[in-house]
């Protein structure tokens, strides 16, 4: 093969990549629309075809469908295999979900040190992985307990869009332990931050704190106020609690 022929083939390959990437992205977005519509069979077909070409996002999404059993029988072996293919391309959500499988012992043997490494690897570009990393630091899963790092990564996770991180901070200060002192006011502040960022479970927990008098004087008026905040955000447990209290 001459040098000019090799150069021509390289240019063709490069052109093919520039053309196929937008096409794959558009097809993947179509698959996500089908997921939102609950059209699982069509979504699976879309993702499967893209996954065969090595499209990391589609491999992950198809893995998640098998992991959760949406429109198909739950299949952890397929989920693991697809996550792994995606993770080999450094797709952070897939790396994170592999970590979850090792943390919980799903399909693979439970292995907290591997789970921790997966979360650490995914965390620079994935908010949920930051929250999982914080949980590892809080509970000593695969790494020595480090509550300073736990607080740091919970807050980062919340700031980057994974609002459960704020809620976990509230739990940390509510329960204390491991060197963290119980601080109900700080817990309430973080629960409120979670609620203010569209995680209404935070509002509901503040309602429970005042209803039950957890570290604060029992105050049903305040409890009802916070349950109303949760209900206003559409949180079903708050709606039910309000109905029961007013009855």
Give which of 230, 164, 160 is closest to 194, Cα–Cα. 164
- The arrangement of secondary structure in 163-247, i.e. its CATH architecture, is Alpha Horseshoe (1.25)
- Percent of the chain beyond pLDDT 70? 91
State pTM to two decimals: 0.85
163-247 has the same fold as 90-157: yes
Q: Which of 47, 25, 18, 52 is nearest to 35 (CA)?
A: 47
Task: Mention the CATH class of domain 90-157.
Answer: mainly alpha
SS3 state of residue 181: coil
Question: How do the domains of the chain map onto residue ranges?
Answer: 30-89, 90-157, 163-247
19-29 CB burial, b ≥16 within 10 A, e <16 = eeeeebeebbe
Provide the token pair at 181: 């002192």
| pLDDT tens track for 185-236 | 999 999 999 999 999 999 999 999 999 999 999 999 999 999 999 999 999 9
C-alpha closest to that of 123 among 168, 170, 76, 90: 90
The 10s digit of each residue's pLDDT in 127-182 is 999 999 999 999 999 999 999 999 999 999 999 999 999 999 999 999 987 778 99
pLDDT value at residue 245: 87
Q: What is the pLDDT of residues 26-81, one digit of tens each?
A: 888 989 999 999 999 999 999 999 999 999 999 999 999 999 999 999 999 999 99
């Amino acid at each position: 093969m001459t040098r000019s022929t090799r150069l021509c083939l390289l240019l063709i390959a490069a052109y093919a990549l520039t053309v196929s990437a937008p096409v794959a992205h558009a097809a993947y977005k179509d698959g996500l629309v089908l997921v939102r519509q609950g059209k699982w069979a069509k979504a699976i077909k879309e993702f499967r075809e893209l996954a065969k070409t090595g499209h990391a996002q589609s491999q992950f999404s198809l893995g998640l469908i098998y992991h959760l059993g949406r429109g198909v029988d739950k299949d952890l072996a397929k989920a693991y295999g697809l996550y792994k293919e995606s993770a080999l391309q450094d797709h952070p959500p897939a790396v994170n979900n592999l970590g979850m499988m090792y943390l919980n012992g799903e399909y693979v043997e439970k292995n907290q040190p591997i789970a921790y490494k997966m979360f650490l690897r995914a965390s620079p570009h994935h908010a949920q992985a930051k929250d999982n990393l914080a949980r590892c630091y809080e509970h000593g899963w695969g790494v020595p307990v480090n509550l300073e790092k736990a607080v740091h990564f919970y807050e980062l996770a919340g700031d980057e869009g994974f609002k459960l991180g704020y809620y976990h901070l509230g739990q940390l200060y509510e329960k204390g332990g491991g060197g963290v002192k119980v601080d109900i006011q700080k817990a309430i502040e973080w629960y409120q931050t979670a609620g203010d960022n569209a995680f209404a479970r935070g509002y509901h927990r503040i309602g429970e704190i005042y209803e039950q008098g957890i570290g604060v004087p029992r105050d049903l008026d305040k409890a009802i106020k916070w349950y109303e905040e949760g209900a206003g955000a559409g949180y079903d447990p708050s709606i039910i609690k309000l109905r029961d209290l007013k009855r």
